[in-house]
Structure 1
Amino acid sequence: MPTQAEIKHQRLMDQAERLIITNGFKNVTMEEIAAAAGISKMTIYNHFDSKEHLVEEILMRTISRFNMDVVEALTKARDTFEKLEIYFQLGQRASEEYSAALYKDVYEAPYLLEKLSAYKKETTLKILLDILEKGAKKGEIRAADQEFVVILLDVVNAGMMQLMPQYGDEEMLRFNRRLFQFIRQGLMVSEGR
């Protein structure tokens, strides 16, 4: 059974995540987070030395949760293309949860962007690389420089994230579907699979 301190910490993380994802982190104060979590501002500073540290933990937590969701969903996939489709669908769904303000805030915070990119490279992109490498070994996709494919997809994804606030959800969904088809065709083995 969780302790009172663990319950407070969980409530803090949940409420901070909700506010930051909805409003961006520049538009949310520590006072607002404390009020939403039903704790004092001092309690937040007992756990985090700064707002930036709290934001970093929140965003790492969302990436970690995404990774767990992807790994779990991949167990149900029959082949490499189904795994890639799951990966992209879950990525699209996750990206739709975040406000344009949050994307803007992250891209205007180089330190945070660098930390998130490094963490994503060590976790999320390794999942994608594993999908591609296993698919190539099974002969389900073209044997190519899979690390290059992962870097290319990461660059495209970063560009999409920056453009999201400028385009509507439908346009981004259409783009994501077309991107998946493009990738699928590029990775197909010669039998035209």
Structure 2
Amino acid sequence: MNDIKELILDKAKERMDRFGFKKTTMDEISKDCKISKKTIYEHFTDKEDMFRCLLLRECQQTMKLLFSRLENVADPFEKLILLIKTAVTYFNQDHFITRLLKDEDALFLTISNKKYHEYIDEEVISIIAGVIREGKQQGKFRDVDEKIVAYAGFKLFQAFSYARTGQLYQEQDEQHYTAVLVDFILHGLVKK
């Protein structure tokens, strides 16, 4: 991505994070960037296209951050443990991408569009399925449908992090819930 496009996305991120999608205008982003609206439209067809690019950039950066820690881990069992722990910790913090995915204040109504969620889900599930496939090939994981198990594991992860729909028991901390989630998922996968 070129520098101007990155600048536009950075300024759009700042403004959308503060005011939400609906209240952010191309004029304001243009002023923030100190460039013309015409320049913005050379890079994005409209505000939704800009938001889509911003969302994809943020998701790719987040996935890169989370999955980069797995590069030097050869054991698929350890990869899944590290991935779950790292991801739960990350998504329980206050990051732009977490606020987008939670969208508690309805600042990002376009995020509710299924195609954005589907893109994110497909990417993550594909990577998790690859780790499960690797574990099966090494004889460490049971013979399971890796895509279905990856999907189920991802949905469990969401329930323990940004997509939590209810309060977890207050007397337990995040590490306890992460340990329970890791135990549950891996005991379903590990070959006995």
TM-score by length of 2: 0.74
Q: Percent identity, aligned pairs only? A: 23
Inter-CA distance 31–101: structure 2 relative to 1 (3 Å threshold):
farther
Inter-CA distance 69–42: structure 2 relative to 1 (3 Å threshold):
same
Task: Number of aligned residue pairs: give it.
Answer: 184
Contact 2:133 2:146 in 1 (8 A): yes
- For structure 1, the residue ranges without an aligned partner over 5 or more in a row are none
Identify the structure with the greater helix proportion. Answer: 1
- Structure 2 equivalent of residue 98 of structure 1: 96
Inter-CA distance 154–147: structure 2 relative to 1 (3 Å threshold):
same
- Structure 1 equivalent of residue 154 of structure 2: 154
For residues 37-186 of structure 1, what are the structure 2 equivalents within 5 Å? Answer: 37-95=33-91, 96=93, 97-98=95-96, 102=100, 103-104=102-103, 105=106, 108-109=109-110, 113-159=113-159, 160-163=161-164, 174-186=176-188
Contact 2:21 2:110 in 1 (8 A): no
Superposed CA RMSD in Å reads 3.3
Inter-CA distance 11–108: structure 2 relative to 1 (3 Å threshold):
closer
CA distance in 1 between counterparts of 2:14 and 2:88 reads 19
SS in 2 for 1:163: coil
Deviation, 1:74, is 1.8
Residue type matched to 1:126 in 2? S
- For structure 2, the residue ranges without an aligned partner over 5 or more in a row are none
TM-score by length of 1: 0.74
Inter-CA distance 55–93: structure 2 relative to 1 (3 Å threshold):
farther
Residue type matched to 1:179 in 2? L
